[in-house]
Amino acid sequence: MKYIDEFRDGELARGIAATIAAEVQPARRYRLMEFCGGHTHAISRYGLLDLLPPAVRMIHGPGCPVCVLPIGRIDSAIELAREHGVILCTYADTLRVPASGGLSLTRAKAQGADIRMVYSCDDALRIAQENPAREVVFFAIGFETTTPPTAAIIRQAAALDVPNFSVFCNHVLTPAAMVHIMESEGDPDAVALDGFVGPAHVSTVIGSQPYEAFAAHYHRPVVISGFEPLDVMQSILMLVRQINAGRAEVENQFTRAVSREGNRKAQALVAEIFELREAFDWRGLGEVPRSALQIRPAFARFDAERRYGIGYRQVADPKACECAAILRGHKHPADCKVFGTVCTPDHPIGACMVSSEGACAAYYTYGRFNVVVKEAGVA
């Protein structure tokens, strides 16, 4: 299949790996964060860590939408369905994220709440039109990739004048989170980083330009990468070369989809409907300034937070769960005591075990046996 097979060529991957091994400097360590959960999934699925020399360490970042969604926001969504009697619509992965009291949206649904999985926000608007006597709330989550469709559906709801439809907005922003990670350097729980594998889908919307000031200010290279194994390997090689040369620039490996300017039409649509929040609570990162969006006052009648008086609610993660440290890159999934035992994709304790993009789920599916083999000393 075009654009797939040529980026999964094992011989080429081994060739890039050999080049990386030849170019890394023996006395140097290359600590690279792949921000996006899609890259974490690709690295685990295709066994890319096994191709890299020991000097290159990949650190999983917080770029999985459901992983960074704080428990308090899920509790609020459950409350909307149970206490306000709304039809709550959301994407599939969100349904299984653990909430307070052993609940999740799936379990709340099993107990009678009207919670429905949708494939797009258009489905949520359709449900509102088909049920004019019920209130319908779309529980919107995700990074810049899923924000334009939410903006489009709010504008459509306004144009159609659908009074029983609203959106519980939880859209977050990538560059602000990257800044927060770098600003945390020096904290005891922070991890030192030498470069970033930049997100792919997010960058198709915002372009490569927003990372330029970040790379210059923190003197860390950023290479925007596609999701196929050769994309990721080539991006790692590009980062190694920048680090060796003392450069800190934004390079775009994913030129077949990402431009410097991004999707200007989508950006304009998002700017029309949303504005920056002063701060937002991220699971693992805590409160991050200007890192999320809220619905503009002009569209307040479609804002579920205003309609139902949803406020800030901070809820701590389960004590046994290490999701917060894993999302900061401070710990590896295998460092968590409940990983692969009581916490599995079928029974997630933490959010990182829910989505296939979550570091724990990716590592459980593709990498946990490697740990067993290496710990046992098997060649």
For 225-266, what is each residue's pLDDT tens digit? 999 999 999 999 999 999 999 999 999 999 999 999 999 999
Q: What is the pLDDT of residue 315?
A: 86
- pLDDT at site 373: 46
Minimum mean pLDDT range among 131-140, 157-166, 175-184, 210-219: 175-184
Tell me, what's the pLDDT at 377? Answer: 42
| pLDDT of 367 over the 80 cut | no
Flag whether the pTM goes above 0.95.
no
Percent of the chain with pLDDT over 70: 96
Cα–Cα dist 241/235, whole Å: 10
What does the pLDDT read at residue 369? Answer: 60
| Interval 147-188: pLDDT, tens | 999 999 999 999 999 999 999 999 999 999 999 999 987 776
pLDDT digit string, tens, across residues 27-49: 999 999 999 999 999 999 999 99
SS3 assignment, position 193: coil
Task: Read off the pLDDT band of 370 (50, 70, 90).
Answer: low
Average pLDDT over residues 344-353: 90
Name the band, by pLDDT with cuts 50, 70 and 90, for residue 111: very high
Q: Check residue 357 and give its pLDDT.
A: 82
Give start and end residues of each alpha helix (H) in 97-193.
105-110, 121-130, 147-160, 174-183
User: Of the ranges 122-126, 155-159, 186-190, 363-367, which one carries the lowest mean pLDDT score?
Assistant: 186-190
User: Higher model confidence: residue 284 or residue 263?
Assistant: 263
Q: Sheet containing 165-171: which strands, arranged edge to edge?
A: 115-117, 87-90, 136-142, 165-171
| pLDDT at site 311 | 87
| Confidence bin at 267 (pLDDT 50/70/90) | very high
User: Which superfamily, per CATH, for 1-312?
Assistant: HypD, alpha/beta domain 2 (3.40.50.11740)
- Could you tell me if 197 and 35 are in contact, meaning their C-beta atoms sit under 8 angstroms apart? yes
Buried b (16+ CB within 10 A) or exposed e, 350-377: bbbbbbbbbbbbbbbebbbeeeeeeeee
Backbone angles phi, psi at 313, to 5 degrees: -140, 110
User: Across residues 93-103, what is the average pLDDT?
Assistant: 93
The predicted pLDDT at position 375 comes to 43
Mean pLDDT, the chain, integer: 93
Could you read off the pLDDT of 330-339 as tens digits, one per residue? 888 989 999 9
What is the predicted pLDDT for the residue at 378? 37
Residue 196, by phi and psi: left (phi above 0), alpha (psi -120 to 50) or beta?
beta
Percent of the chain at pLDDT > 90 equals 78
Query: In this predicted structure, which of 50-64, 96-110, 181-195, 347-361 has the lowest mean pLDDT?
Result: 181-195
Q: Where exactly are the structural domains of the chain?
A: 1-312, 322-366
Residue 133 has a pLDDT of: 98
**Spatial contact of 331 and 322, defined as CB atoms under 8 Å apart:** yes
By the 8 A CB rule, do 233 and 17 touch?
yes
